[in-house]
Chain A
Amino acid sequence: MTQALTLRNLVAFGTLAVLALVPLYSHATGNFFMMTLFTRIVILAMAAVSLNLIMGFGGMVSFGHAAYLGIGGYVVGILAHEGVGSGFVQWPLALVVSALFALVIGALSLRTRGVYFIMITLAFAQMIYYVGVSLDRYGADDGLTIYKRSDFAGLLNLSNRTVFYYVCVALLFATIYLVWRLVNSRFGMVIQGARSNERRMRAIGVPTYRYRLTCFVIAGTICGLAGVLLANQADFVSPAMMHWTRSGDLIVMAVLGGMGSVIGPVIGAVALLVLEEALSGITEYWQIILGPMLLGIVLYARGGIEGLLQGGRHD
Chain B
Amino acid sequence: MLLFVEQFLNGLQFGLLLFLLAAGLTLVFGIMDLVNLAHGSLYMLGAYFAATFTTLTGHFIGGVVLALMATLVVGMAVEVIAMRRLYGRDHLDHVLGTFGLILFFNELVRLVWGPAGMNLTLPAWLNTSVELLPGVHYSMYRLSIIIVALAVAAVLYLVVMRTRIGMLVRAGASNREMIGALGINIKLLFTFVFGAGAALAGLAGLMQAAILTAQIGMGENILILAFVVIIIGGIGSIRGAFIASIFVGLVDTVGRAFLPDILKLFLSSSAAATAAPAISSMLIYLVMAVVLIVRPEGLFPAASK
Contacts and interface: CB of A to CB of B under 8 A. Distances in A.
B258 to A, nearest CB: 16
B104 A292 contact: yes
Interface in B255-305: 270-271, 274-275, 277-279, 281-282, 285-286, 288-289, 292-293, 296-298
B169 to A, nearest CB: 20
A130 B278 contact: yes
Contacts of A292: 100, 104
Contact of A126 (B37, B85, B285): B285
A119 B288 contact: yes
A287 B292 contact: no
B95 A140 contact: no
Contacts of B292: 111-112, 116, 119-120, 123
A256 B96 contact: yes
Contacts of A141: 274
Nearest to B292: A120
Contacts of B102: 291
Contact of A297 (B96, B224, B231, B281): B96
A130 B96 contact: no
A288 B281 contact: no
Interface residues of B, number: 49
Contact of A119 (B108, B227, B275, B278): B227
B102 to A, nearest CB: 7
Majority-rule SS of A interface residues: helix
Interface string A253-287: 00110010000000000000000000000000111
A141 B273 CA distance: 12
Contact of A131 (B95, B100, B278): B278
B93 A123 contact: no
A298 B282 contact: no
B111 interface: yes
B92 interface: yes
A309 B111 CA distance: 34
Contacts of B86: 298-299
B106 A287 contact: yes
Given A126-B285, A291-B104, A285 B111 contact: yes
Contacts of A115: 29, 35, 91, 231, 235
A38 interface: no
Interface stretch (A69-77, A206-214, A216-224, A244-252): A244-252
B92 A127 contact: no
A113 interface: yes
Contacts of A251: 92, 95-96
Interface in A131-149: 131, 133-134, 136-137, 140-141
B6 interface: no
Nearest to B82: A295
Contacts of A111: 292-293, 296
Nearest to B287: A123
B166 interface: no
Contacts of B285: 123-124, 126-127, 130
Nearest to B225: A126
A247 B102 CA distance: 15
B92 A255 contact: yes
B117 interface: no
A178 interface: no
Contacts of B91: 61, 114-115, 118
A291 B107 contact: yes
A128 B237 CA distance: 29
B279 A130 contact: yes
B161 interface: no
B167 interface: no
B203 to A, nearest CB: 24
B101 A291 contact: yes
A108 B292 CA distance: 9
A288 B104 contact: yes
B12 interface: no
**Most chain B Cβ neighbours within 10 Å, of A113, A294, A297:** A294
Contacts of B107: 285-288, 291
Contacts of B105: 291
A299 B83 CA distance: 10
A102 to B, nearest CB: 15
Contact of B271 (A130, A131, A136): A136
Nearest to A298: B97
Interface in B118-153: none
A179 interface: no
Given A116-B292, A245-B220, A292-B104, 20 more contacts: A108-B289, A108-B293, A111-B292, A111-B293, A115-B35, A118-B35, A120-B293, A126-B224, A126-B282, A130-B281, A131-B278, A133-B277, A137-B271, A287-B106, A290-B103, A291-B103, A295-B82, A298-B96, A299-B82, A302-B93
Interface of A: 55, 61, 108, 111-116, 118-120, 122-124, 126-127, 130-131, 133-134, 136-137, 140-141, 244-245, 248, 251-252, 255-256, 259, 285-288, 290-295, 297-299, 302
20 contacts: A61-B91, A111-B293, A115-B35, A115-B231, A120-B292, A123-B286, A133-B277, A134-B274, A248-B37, A251-B95, A287-B107, A291-B102, A294-B96, A294-B100, A295-B104, A298-B86, A298-B89, A298-B96, A298-B100, A299-B85
Interface of B: 29, 35, 37, 82, 85-86, 89, 91-93, 95-97, 99-108, 110-111, 220, 224, 227-228, 231, 235, 270-271, 274-275, 277-279, 281-282, 285-286, 288-289, 292-293, 296-298
